[in-house]
Structure 1
Amino acid sequence: MAHKKLVYINIDGFSFSYLERLKRKGKAGGFQRLQNDGFLFTGLRSGLVSITNPMQSAILCGAWSEKTHNFYQHYDLNEGRVIKHKRTFCAENAAQALLRTGHTVASIHQFMLENNPCREGDAQCAYFRCGKDPSDSRDRFALLKRMALGQAVYTGERKIVYSELPDFTAFYIDDIDSLGHNNAYGPYPKRATFEERQRDIEKRLEVIQQELEDFVDICKQRGLFQNMAILITTDHGMTPFYGKSSLPDLLVRLNGAGIKATLPEMRTTDTQVIVLPYTIEASLYCIHPLTQEQRQTLLKVCRSAPYMQQVLEKEEMRHRYGMDSRGPDFLLCPHAGSHFYHKDVSEDTFGASHDSLDETSQHIFGMLIGGKVRHLVDYPEAVSAIDLLPTLLHTQFGCTMRDSTGKIWHGWFEDNQSMERIGAFE
């Protein structure tokens, strides 16, 4: 009996708005053909804080930062300094869970799995990187396709020929994220307008669509597809921002209201609130608990600012978004276009990032295809990014990640008709 296989493809920074634009322009043919072998998640959501490392770890572990303990950074009140979380995460991830239950796993540039557990030279849990550095999606897909064709691939100095793909293969590409941030990337220079950059993203997504179709065709021709599930998704979207930062104005408003607020590096003995910016959003840490009056003053000041979309309080973040207890007392989320970046954006260009509650960052791309995936075309349910791998490990392998809090959905496969969902995280 053929073993079930799961391929997890993460296209970093793939906002659902990009797909909608491709469809409007008649350039989503590849995704639509792939969709015929399964379905598109039309209500898939990212989390908090929607930055690459926290969201990559959340997807891999099926849990938010209350379990992974990665939400990018926090201000440590005792040490009086900002602590970056980098690539650390504490929860058991999908590759670890499958390895623990006797399965083979591999990672192609899924950096969060490097040495955790995937290692160069280890056939049971191999880590692969392209010989070319830097590499883009075409280079990495070439490696994935060689694996699927049963051709020799190298993990470190070790040559491996897979007669069939590993039970779990994690694959990561970052072309779309790099372009979305308006970085100079490959042949694409930094752009003056968001519209120009959108056209660059369209071109690269057309390339990625073709690479995905080529990979699926190989799997079908080799008789692998019937027992495969291929999850294609992302960690977050992307939201453009412009002009002057609202950070200086925020500090003026708070201090003018009698709340001594400073940046971490400017903390004094009088500081009551540390303002720690991300790129778009800003987090607030109270040195000592505020009085009820001070708290209400702070909330009034922040919520009345003309650039503010939403202010989240600690308990709401913990309850709704599974935030680590080390998280901020308040998270300030500005309207799309505004930002709390540490510097202004030049008037002749724009910035873009994804630590935002705007739909362009929170509504994300996701698709599930495979030989036994139900042909639903669209799946409109409100699915969270942390639900994806817990559901697929459960249905494909009967495996559960130890720290997962994501919901287990039923009805994604032909032999599992119910659309009921279960799980502890509400």
Structure 2
Amino acid sequence: MAPKQDRTDRALHGTRVLDFGRIVAGPHCAQMMCAMGADVIKIERPVHGDDARSDPHVFEPGLSGAFMQQNWGKRSLSIDLRKAEAKEIIFKLVQQSDVVIENFRPGVMARLGFSYEALSAINPRLIMASVSAFGQTGPYADRLGYGPIAEALAAIPELTGEHDGPPMPTMFPIADNMAAALACTSICASLYWRDRSGVGQYIDMSLLDAVFQGQDLAFEQYLGTGGKTQMRRRGLRDVTFVPWGFFEGRDGWVCIMCGNESMWEPLAKAMGRADMVDDPRYKDFAARYENRAEVYRIVEEWVKSNSSVDTVVELMDKAGVPCDRVNTVAQAVSHPQVLARGLVVERDHPTLGRMKVVNSGLNFSKTPADIYGHPPFLGEHNEEILTGLLGMDAEEVAKLTSSKLLYRDPRSDSVKRN
């Protein structure tokens, strides 16, 4: 069932966000707030809009899968921020907003005239979050950067891949999504603090901050031992918690994790190797570490002896050992647990029709947080925002559109208004 468009029952109803974000980190932060009920106005440049609009896969011009996932339910204002007339409009919107989110390179917002100092002078209760690659301070502040660069600096690829192979990146945007989540958390905490103090504040979040603080095990081991212990790439299989890793079966791969000593006995018995339980060569992690090649050979052969990795998963589940199939994307989006959690839902799009989309992943007992509405066409809500919030008349908006200060995608006409 599609969610109702009225957001009064959502946790952030009554909060207005100006989203200057682009690509992932900024838009994803604003998307979480939107799902929680905030009125998110996405500020986009004319004609092209957010760079993500042209990312693969493009369903229609300006509507890529990447853009759609990060922008459901937002309102789009397409305005040329380089023009003097834009500043007055943005300032008026800031007066009526609670939060500004941006993830330009440090200094861009200030050059446009929208620094935190300028905006907070207009609205002292404003909370502004800047998400950048390396932060607003330090020797790297002015450097260009993307998520994989921040991840490389924080040693994530160095700990990914085979132990004797090269550092390995992932396809998952770790830095961007972690920074978005931390920025959203910081904003919500700042809103709570504002209710007590009466004033807003500035949040300086970086992709580097997010991934570095999340790299807890490796850095704490190194720092805590004065550099004597340094985590290494584990590859497909861990060398400390044995057995723990990926194993190839007849119809795919499976992940088995013997995370503590209590799991070894049920795992061994499930494999039909009760003899290994009391064998001193395998009695604990230390012993299994010394004999890890043999342990992994036995587990690998057992996995391959089963007709399907699904059988392995069932046996491990009964034994109480964490285990699951390593899914393909197609398997993941149709997995019963994914569907039961509402992570993939169906929504109606004005031009694309009924489609399956990724949900917010947020769950509250009393306030809904699923996605609603649709990803906006570029400038779709220009008139709605400028007449409804700023009191402009339609003729004035039309003139600003003719002067190319504003841009509105013609497909916006196809959208039925509530």
Taking structure 2 as the reference length, the TM-score comes to 0.30
Higher fraction of helix: 2
**Which structure is richer in relative contact order (CA contacts within 8 A, separation 6 or more)?**
1
Taking structure 1 as the reference length, the TM-score comes to 0.29
Higher fraction of strand: 1
